[in-house]
Amino acid sequence: MGDLGINLPGLITQIISFVILFVILSKVLYKPLVAMLDQRAEKITAGLEAAEKAKEEAAKSEEAIQEQLQEARSEGQKLVAQARETADRFREEEMAKVREDLDAERSRAESNIQRERDAAIEELRKEFASLAITAAEKVVKTSLDEEGHRTLIEGVLNEEGSRNN
C-alpha cells in the first residue's frame, strides 16, 4: 500500500475534503439551482397552458366573429335584395303608370287628331263642294243643266271620299 501511495491520513484527508465539497455544493449550488429549475419548469408549463388557453379562446372568438360577419353579410345581401326588389317593383309600377298615362294621352291625342281630321275633311269636303259648285257654276254659266252636273260632281266626290277613307 505504501508503494502505491495509499496511506490512512491522506485517504481520510481526501474523504473529508470530498465530503465538505459535497455538502457545500449541495447547499450552495444544487438546492437553489434545482429549485429554481423546477420553479421555472412550472412557470413555463403554466405559461404554455395559458398560451394554449388563450389560443383556444382566440380561435373561439375568431369563429364567433366569422359567424357574426357571415350573418351580417347575409343580412346585408338580404337587405340589398329586398331593396332591389322594392326598387324594381316601384319602377315597374311607375313605368306602368307612365305607360298608362302615355297611352291615355296618346289615345286622347289620337281621338283629337281623328276628330280634327274628320272635321277638317268635312270642312274640306264642304269647301270642296262649294268650290266645285262655284267652279261648276262658272262652267254652267256657259252651258249644261244643273241636274246633270250635280250627279257628276257627287259621283266624283264619293269616289274621292272612298279613296280617302
Partner 1 sequence: MSKILGNPRSLAILIICVAVLAVSILGGALGNTLGFGFFASSLPAIQLPAEKVTDGFNTPIGKWDLMNTMVTTWLAMLVLIVISLVIRKNLKDVPSRLQALFELIIEFFLALCEQIAGKEKARRFFPLVFTIFIFIVAANWMGILPGFGTVGRIAGPEEIAHHHDAHDYHDPALMQTTLESKESKAKSHASGETHGDDHDSHLGAVKLHVFRDYKSVPLATLSPGSLEEELTFSQYGENHGNVGEGKRAGHLVPFLRSANTDLNMSLAIALIAMVMVHFWGFSILGFFGHAGKFISFKSGPIGFFVGILELISELGRVISFTFRLFGNIFAGEVLLMAMAFLLPLIGIIPFLGLELFVGLIQAFVFAMLTLVFASMASISHDDGDHH
Is residue 19 a contact residue for partner 1 (CB under 8 A)?
yes
Q: Assess 90 for contact with partner 1 (CB under 8 A).
A: no
Using rule CB under 8 A, residue 3 touches partner 1: yes
Residue 47 interacts with partner 1 (CB under 8 A)? no
CB nearer partner 1, residue 28 or residue 59: 28
Cα(74)–Cα(85) distance, rounded to whole angstroms? 16
Which region among 3-11, 45-53, 103-111, 140-148 touches partner 1 (by CB under 8 A)? Answer: 3-11
- Give yes or no for residue 22 binding partner 1 (CB under 8 A): yes
Residue placing its CB nearer to partner 1 in the complex, 8 or 143: 8
Closest to partner 1 by CB, 6 vs 165, is: 6
Minimum CB separation of residue 48 from partner 1 in Å reads 16
Q: Is 42 in the site for partner 1 (CB under 8 A)?
A: no
For CA atoms 19, 21, 27, 31, give the dihedral sign: negative
Binding site for partner 1 (CB under 8 A): 2-15, 17-22, 24-26, 28-30, 32-34, 36-37, 39-40, 43
